[in-house]
Amino acid sequence: MKIIQVNHLKKYYGKSKGIEDVSFEVEKGDFFGFIGPNGAGKSTTIRTLLGLIYPTSGSASINGMDIVKEKEQIKKQIGYLPSEVMLYPSMKVKEALKLSMDLYKVDCSKQASLLCQRLNLDPNKKIEDLSFGNRKKVGIVCALQHNPELLILDEPTSGLDPLMQKEFFEILKEKNEKGTTILLSSHILSEIQRNCNKAAIIRDGKIIACDTVENLSNSNAKYIQIHGNASFDTLNGIKNMVKDKEGCSFLYNGDISLLLNCLSKGNIKDITISEPDLEEVFMHYYKEN
Ligand SMILES: Nc1ncnc2c1ncn2[C@@H]1O[C@H](COP(=O)(O)OP(=O)(O)OP(=O)(O)O)[C@@H](O)[C@H]1O
C-alpha cells in the first residue's frame, strides 16, 4: 500500500525555483531515503508534503489524503522533524515535549522519557542552555514520542555526534521493524546506504533516480581501481575518472575484455574490481548532464 504518492510536484517561490518536477512513491513500511546536495529541493518537497507551503502545480497525497485539502488531518498522523528545529528558548525540555504531546492530544510521557534516556537528553535543562545537537534531539523526541505511523525527517543527523547518530538509527530501525514508515532526507550517502531500503535522488528540483538502494548501487557498472599506468583513451563506458600519481579509479560499464586488453598493454602493479557504492553512483548521476 502506498503511504506517500507525489505526482509532478512543482513549487516556485515567486519567480525563484524550489522544485520543478518531483514524482515518487513510498510504500507502507519503507525506510525511504531522499538524497540530494544542498539546494536540490529536499526541504521544499517535504514542506510541501506537510502543507507548510502550497505547491505551484502537481499533487501529492499521504495515506490517500490530499496534501492541500486535508493537511490538518495529515499532520495528526505523522511525526515531522524540520531541518531547523525551532523551540521556545525559555522552556525546559520536558515542557517543550509536553507542548508537542498536547498538540497530538496524547500522553506519551513514558515514551518521551525513554527516548530522552537513549539520546542522553536531560529533560530538566532549559532549551536556551542546550547545544545545537541537543536541541536537535528535542526535535527528534517531539517527532517520535507519539509513535506516528509515518515519520518525515529532514536531515535528522546534522549536529548529532557519531555515537548519537548510531543510537538514533537504532531507534529508527526498531520503529521501522514494528511497521513505521520513514522518509528521511539527507546528503550523507553512507547513512542512506546503511539504513534505507529505497531511495530517490533529487537534482536541481527533479527526481533523477528512484529505486531500491540495492538497485541504485548495482548499476551494472564496476568500480575499477588501478595502481600503475595504462591508456584508456580508446575505451567506451568509462565514467568518473579520477587520476593521481599512483594510478586511477573509474566506473566502467563497457566490455571487460576490452578493458583487459588495455590493461595488458600498460604497466599495472595492482588492480581492484568491485561493486560501486551509493556514493559512486550518486557522483555519476550528479556529474552526468
Ligand atoms: N523561502 C524561499 N524563498 C526563495 N527560494 C527558496 C526558499 N526556500 C528555498 N528556496 C530555494 O529553493 C531551492 C531548493 O531549496 P531547498 O531548501 O528545498 O533545498 P535542500 O535540498 O533542502 O537543500 P539543503 O540540503 O541545503 O537543506 C534552492 O534554490 C533555494 O534557494
pLDDT tens profile 188-207: 878 888 899 999 999 889 99
Task: Give distance in angstroms: CA of 26 to centre of ligand 1.
Answer: 22
The pLDDT tens digits of the residues spanning 67-116 come to: 999 999 998 889 999 988 889 999 999 999 999 999 888 889 999 999 99
Q: CA-to-CA distance for 15 and 18, rounded, in angstroms?
A: 9
Structurally, how many domains does the chain consist of? 2
Mean pLDDT of the region 279-286? 68
The pLDDT tens digits of the residues spanning 164-174 come to: 999 999 999 99
**Between 240 and 113, the higher pLDDT residue:** 113
Q: Look at residues 216, 248, 271 and tell me which one is the last residue of a structural domain.
A: 216
Top mutation candidate among 43, 154, 185, 189 for ligand 1, by most atoms within 8 Å of CB: 43
101 shares its domain with 193: yes
C-alpha cell at 15: 519567480
Of ligand 1's atoms, which has the minimum distance to the CA of residue 18?
Answer: 12
C-alpha cell at 112: 518521551
61 shares its domain with 187: yes
181 shares its domain with 277: no
Ligand 1 binding site (Cβ under 6 Å of any ligand atom)? 13, 16, 18, 36, 38-44, 83, 187
pLDDT given for residue 16 in this prediction: 95
Q: CA-to-CA distance for 255 and 23, rounded, in angstroms?
A: 34
C-beta separation of 124 from 140 below 8 A: no
Q: CA-to-CA distance for 92 and 87, rounded, in angstroms?
A: 10
185 shares its domain with 78: yes
What 3-state DSSP class applies to 245?
Answer: coil
Q: Provide the domain limits for residue 163.
A: 2-216
244 shares its domain with 268: yes
80 shares its domain with 47: yes
| Prediction ipTM score | 0.97
C-beta separation of 75 from 82 below 8 A: no
CATH of the domain at 28: 3.40.50.300
Residue 26: pLDDT over 80: yes
Residue 285: pLDDT over 80: no
72 shares its domain with 106: yes
Residue nearest to atom 11 of ligand 1 (CA): 18
Count of CB atoms within 10 A of residue 50's CB? 18
Contacts of residue 115, Cβ cutoff 8 Å, sequence gap at least 6: 121, 140, 141, 144, 145, 171
136 shares its domain with 164: yes
Task: Give distance in angstroms: CA of 35 to centre of ligand 1.
Answer: 14
User: How many angstroms separate the Cα of 278 from the Cα of each of 37, 129, 141, 172, 200?
Assistant: 14, 38, 29, 21, 12
pLDDT given for residue 284 in this prediction: 66
